[in-house]
Amino acid sequence: MSDGDASLRARIITISQALDAAGLVPNKSGNVSSRSAGGFLITPAGRPYRDLVPGDIVELPVCGEPSASGPRPSSEWRMHAAIYAGRSDATAIVHTHSPRATALACAGRGIPPFHYMIALAGGEVRCTSYATFGTAELAQSALRGLEGRRAVLLGNHGVITIGSSLDEAHAVAVEVENLAGEYLAMLSAGLEPRLLDDEEMARVAGKFADYGRLKR
């Protein structure tokens, strides 16, 4: 294992444990990955995040099947592979079952552009139709939902975010959960959100680029 490979594996573990500590991946749900020299590195199936060590992180080719030996990759490895194959701008992927965003996903409801911070996700966060976890159908549905976006809600399932780095994918996942909570609060209070138009969202995205919040 090279120094660079070991460092990337350690960073994946750090992000995974941060998500766990924040309550965004309850009961070992979710997964984290990053592109690597051999394809991509992804968290394993069924291991508590607190117990992960670098050797548990699984390397997979972007196009191909997992090895029959060694740690088993997350059951959602197909979704990560499809996104890396279809989105050259995705260097890292975070998948969570964060409570508020998942509640919206289970209602088949996306997050509209009611707050300018949704620009971190690239605009309105769509919600896909339901597909069984771990399937090629879910992988392709997620990829379609991410078109022009950095986040998508997976119907009756959870959230997936992408970024130019692990930190960016993590930051988008955290912000989507914040936005979901704010949106649910408005809905529960019977309030109708005032939405920002495309022109304003484009203006915000430009300002974020200047602030360094978003990388183009």
Indicate the average pLDDT of the chain.
94
Out of 59, 76, 124, 168, the active site residue is 76
Residue ranges of domains in the chain, CATH in brackets: 3-211 (3.40.225.10)
- The CA R_g of the chain, rounded to the nearest whole Å, is 17
Model-level pTM greater than 0.85? yes
pLDDT in tens, 111-162: 999 999 999 999 999 999 999 999 999 999 999 999 999 999 999 999 999 9
pLDDT of residue 28: 86
Residue 210 has a pLDDT of 66
Tell me the per-residue pLDDT of 172-196, one tens digit each, with 9 for 90 and over. Answer: 999 999 999 999 999 999 999 999 9
Q: Is position 65 annotated as part of the catalytic site?
A: no
3-state class (DSSP) for residue 154:
strand
Number of C-beta neighbours around residue 39 at 10 A = 17
Residue range 35-55: mean pLDDT, rounded:
95
Phi-psi region of 39 (alpha: psi -120 to 50; beta: other; left: phi over 0): left
Which residue type, as a one-letter code, is found at position 101? A
